[in-house]
Amino acid sequence: MILANYIKDLLYRYDCVIVPNFGGFITNRMSASYNTNTSNFLPPFKQIAFNNNLKENDGLLANYIASVETISFEDANKAIATAVNNWNVNLQNKSLELEEVGVLSLNENQQIIFEPNTSVNYLAESFGLANVTISEIERQKTIVKPLVPVINTDNKKVLPTLLKYAATAAILLTLGYVGNNLYQQNKQNTILASQEKALEKKIQAATFTIANPLPTIELNVVKEVAKPYHIVAGAFQFPENANKKVNQLKKEGYQASIIGVNKWGLTEVVFSSFADRNDAINELYKIQDSVSKDAWLLVKK
CA 282 from centre of chain: 19
207-240 pLDDT, tens per residue?
444 445 556 556 565 566 789 999 999 999 899 9
Can you give the residue range of the structural domain that contains 262? 229-299
Average pLDDT estimate for 124-133: 62
Q: 16: exposed, middle or buried (C-beta count within 10 Å: 0-12, 13-18, 19+)?
A: buried
Positive/negative CA dihedral, 176, 181, 184, 186: negative
Give pLDDT, residue 148. Answer: 58
Axis-axis angle for helices 60-69, 3-11 (nearest 10): 110
| DSSP output for 176-235 | HHHHHHHHHHHHHHHHHHHHHHHHHHHHHH-----SSPPPP----PPPPPP--EEEEEEE
- Rounded distance, CA 171 to CA 177, Å? 10
Question: Helix, strand, coil: what percent of the chain each, to 5?
Answer: 40, 20, 40
**Is residue 149 situated within a structural domain?**
no
Of 132, 156, 187, the last residue of a domain is 132
Residue 297 has pLDDT above 70, yes or no: yes
Q: How far out from the chain centre does Cα 226 lie? A: 14
Residue 190 covered by a domain: no
- Could you give the 3-state DSSP secondary structure of residue 24? strand
> Beta strands of the chain (E only): which ranges?
16-19, 23-30, 33-35, 40-42, 45-51, 96-98, 102-106, 112-116, 132-133, 229-236, 257-261, 267-274, 296-299
Q: What is the CATH number of the domain that holds 246?
A: 3.30.70.1070
C-alpha to C-alpha distance for 230 and 15, rounded to whole angstroms: 11
Q: Report yes or no on 139 lying in a domain.
A: no
Establish if 166 belongs to a structural domain. Answer: no
Residue 211 inside a domain? The answer is no
The reply to whether 126 and 236 lie within a common domain is: no
pLDDT of residue 182: 54
Which of 88, 104, 132 terminates a domain? The answer is 132
| pLDDT score recorded for residue 244 | 94
Which band of pLDDT confidence, cut at 50, 70 and 90, is reported for residue 158? very low
Examine residue 153 and state whether it is found in any structural domain, yes or no: no
Amino acid at 109: N
pLDDT digits (tens, 9 = 90+) for 242-293: 999 999 999 999 999 999 998 888 999 999 999 999 998 999 999 988 888 8
Examine the fold and report which residue of 132, 154, 175 is the final residue of a domain before the chain moves on. Answer: 132
Structural domains of the chain, count: 2
Q: Which residue has the higher pLDDT, 300 or 124?
A: 300
Domain membership flag for residue 64: yes
- pLDDT of 12: 86
Would 155 be classed as within a structural domain?
no
- Say which DSSP state 26 is in: E
